[in-house]
Amino acid sequence: MKAPRILLWLVGLLAILFLLTPVLAVLPLSFSAGSFLFYPLPGLSLRWYADFWASDFWLPALWNSLRVGAGAALVAGSLGTLAAFGLWRAPFPGKTLVMAVLLAPMVVPAIIVAVALLLAFGPLGLTNSFTGLVLGHAALGAPFVVVTVLAALQQFDAVQLRAAASCGASPARAFWRVCLPQIMPGVAAGGVFAFATSLDEVAIALFIAGPAQRTLPRQMFSGLNDSISLTIMAAAMILVLISVVLLVAVTLLKRKQG
């Protein structure tokens, strides 16, 4: 029994190492005292982090990313929770098809979603706007909310809703007072995933966002096209740190749900 367990741990560690190797190879460059992407490092310095925090381009892009991510997480969390509850509560013909449509943004390439949103938002005047960017990112994040909330609902006893109804509670009140508090860890975890998806997304930002809505990934993409600066490595390090915080938050929420 020990040999298969050790082999499983070894395979898992190798997989983690494979995923982390590119990150571990690139991030030390954010502390380089030089001006080029090369090893060995000529020295250690925080100059690129100072350049990031003092820049008129990078810092606003970070704040835009955080604002858009928070808005997308709120919209995706609200709509995804309602969609998951409807799928769980009301059996109807074509339920599998509806589920497939809701989860489609998880498997459809982001560039296709971005083009579709551009065609849909253009006549509505939502391009080059903060609202359009939030809605576009929410569309990508909502499937994660649906999945996590459905998982949380599997542990919820529907008899409690009938008990609340027998006590005179309306369906909306029963959901708000009885169901939602118990599935809140799943809702919060889905919101964190939606935020993380928005934080890392660049295709929709390229098609929908205007100059005033420039996000951090879009700024990094533009920086790679214009002129490579090690400030991009500092920005990448900041994104990695935010991702680690989000991963810890999801882990804590799952532990609380369990």
pLDDT digits (tens, 9 = 90+) for 188-242: 888 888 998 888 888 888 888 877 778 888 888 877 766 677 788 888 888 888 8
CA distance 109 to 88: 27
3-state per-residue secondary structure call for 10-51: HHHHHHHHHHHHHHHHHHHHHHECCCCCCCCCCCECCHHHHH
User: How high is the pLDDT of residue 226?
Assistant: 62
Choices 2.60.40.420, 3.40.50.300, 2.30.130.40, 1.10.3720.10: CATH for 64-217? 1.10.3720.10
Burial bucket for residue 182 (CB in 10 Å: 0-12, 13-18, 19+): middle
Residue 94 has pLDDT above 90, yes or no: no
Least confident of 66-75, 117-126, 165-174, 245-254: 245-254
Residue 75 has pLDDT above 90, yes or no: yes
- Averaged pLDDT, 141-154: 89
3-state per-residue secondary structure call for 197-224: HHHHCCHHHHHHCCHHHCCHHHHHHHHH
pTM of the model: 0.83
> Can you read off the two tokens belonging to residue 140?
């990508």
- Averaged pLDDT, 163-179: 83
Place of tokens 């709509």: 79
Residue 139 has pLDDT above 80, yes or no: yes
| Confidence bin at 258 (pLDDT 50/70/90) | low
CA distance 135 to 120: 12
| Confidence bin at 76 (pLDDT 50/70/90) | very high
